[in-house]
Structure 1
């Protein structure tokens, strides 16, 4: 066998190991999300719960805006991102005891559901649509990890000061 053939086999081996590692990483993340928490429900269960409870609250304008906001996500991961973000938006709407998901609720939920690196894109979209980002500045300042249980009370408390 030639040296080129040996290099090809080594390259192919590393490529396969790398692809399996990447696939394993994403499978492990999905597994972690499916593990029940203290309340007996997993993150995926809560996402499904909030989606089911708020499905009727979405208007066409908000659905279109959500689709626009998740459009930069690669198509392979877009459904997962849309579900995660929409469930957080639903959670915000239910916690605020709203009957309909408004643009304000959608933007708040989007900020809370997404990592800080995605906020630049949101700011750009808000500017394109002539939506004032000022009311959301307090949410933008925090990172996604700052939104633990009781995030709404902390947010409302900081708005009063």
Structure 2
């Protein structure tokens, strides 16, 4: 005669074990991906040799150049960041605006022009994205020939 609790000593089914293994690897993968992006953000906040972080400098240039932006240049910046995926668009817009502001201020401009926007957009775009940058500029009929040297 079998005991009423004999089923407790049976090993778990292979489907259950495979499901646990799958979720373990999925969660570890997600945590690694999230950790990578968090680490990148952490590196941006670390102070450089001058005592300010990359994020501090971006905020500085955006705030300092704020009065130089016209409605036309803001609209052009919005057009430039359209290819960036939605969740990252605000961050990309802030970094590109900081670079555009830096370029405009260093050239002693009275306002941010279309040329400043194109030059800042090219300078702020990572080298690995140059192919997409060129495709986007050509698709929108934006002349980038004076700034081609910045893409190398």
Q: TM above 0.5, one fold? A: yes
Deviations 1:83-140 (A, max 9, x none): 1111011111111111211010001011111023433344344334443222122222
Query: Which contiguous aligned blocks of 4+ residues in structure 1 show a shift greater than 6 angstroms?
Result: none
**Pair 1:85-2:96 in alignment:** yes
Extract unaligned runs of 5+ from structure 2.
1-11
- Residue of structure 2 in register with 1:99 after alignment: 110
Larger-gyration structure (1/2)? 2
RMSD: 1.6
TM-score scaled to structure 2, two decimals?
0.84
Say which is worse superposed, 11-20 or 109-118, in terms of deviation.
Answer: 109-118
Aligned pairs (5 A) from 1:23-62: 23-62=34-73
Identify the residue that residue 144 of structure 2 maps to in structure 1.
133
CA distance in 1, matches of 2:33, 2:109: 40
Find out whether 1:70 has 2:81 as its counterpart: yes
Which whole-Å CA distance do the structure 2 matches of 1:49 and 1:74 have between them?
A: 25
Structure 1 stretch 124-133 or stretch 108-117: which is displaced more? Answer: 124-133
In structure 1, what is the Cα distance between the partners aligned to 2:68 and 2:53?
24
Q: Give the count of matched residue pairs.
A: 141
TM-score under structure 1 normalisation? 0.80
Contact 2:118 2:144 in 1 (8 A): no
Aligned to 2:120: 109
Instruction: Map Cα deviations across residues 50-70 of structure 1 (whole Å, 9 max, x no partner).
Output: 000011211222212221221
